[in-house]
Chains A and B, each alone.
Chain A
């Protein structure tokens, strides 16, 4: 089974760039790597998704090395409202046509003024 690990927590200050890494061994070869943000008592919210190299949208960038065994979410110039838990999500094919979706262990990002 794919196993995903992330740092438990990170601290930052407003205006800084934050990079959160997820290690995911044995992920499905053809599946995307996706990152989510979650606030307390809410469902996760989609941030960004990629397959390889680098993807950028209006809120984040995602860096994926060639071996795809890890990925790094980059949040430019964080603000207080970015304080949340961040999860990576990968797929794990079990050899058949079925899919298992594996969330990372989650990283609590605390942004201070």
Chain B
């Protein structure tokens, strides 16, 4: 059991730029979800992928997009970064989307300046 790993751990970007965050899910977990957690707030659901297809999305604009790959890795892409995008981005995986026993990574701290 390797857990969930995210890269990079910290990132600084300029407003208007694009960023790609990466996640390696636990082996065998075919469901991955991404969350944004602002300082002092709870995680906010961005979207979820099941077997490489998006099967759930929170209230985030289209400039937040993702991909899931057959090797249990996934990406979160954010275009046209805004200052309010500064947050901890968390990736989590589980065996099935009906099981909410997610394993979370430690997150990527994104700072937009």
- Identify the A interface with B (CB < 8 A): 30-34, 36, 41-46, 49, 87, 89, 91, 97-106
Contacts and interface: CB of A to CB of B under 8 A. Distances in A.
Contacts of B97: 99
A103 B57 CA distance: 14
Interface residues of B, number: 27
Given A42-B106, A43-B107, A99 B48 contact: yes
Interface of B: 4, 33, 35, 41-45, 48, 55-58, 88, 90, 92, 97-107
Given A43-B107, A103-B45, 12 more contacts: A41-B106, A42-B106, A43-B90, A44-B90, A49-B99, A87-B42, A98-B56, A99-B56, A101-B33, A103-B43, A104-B42, A105-B42
Interface centre among B90, B92, B100, B102 (most CB of A within 10 A): B100
A102 B41 CA distance: 13
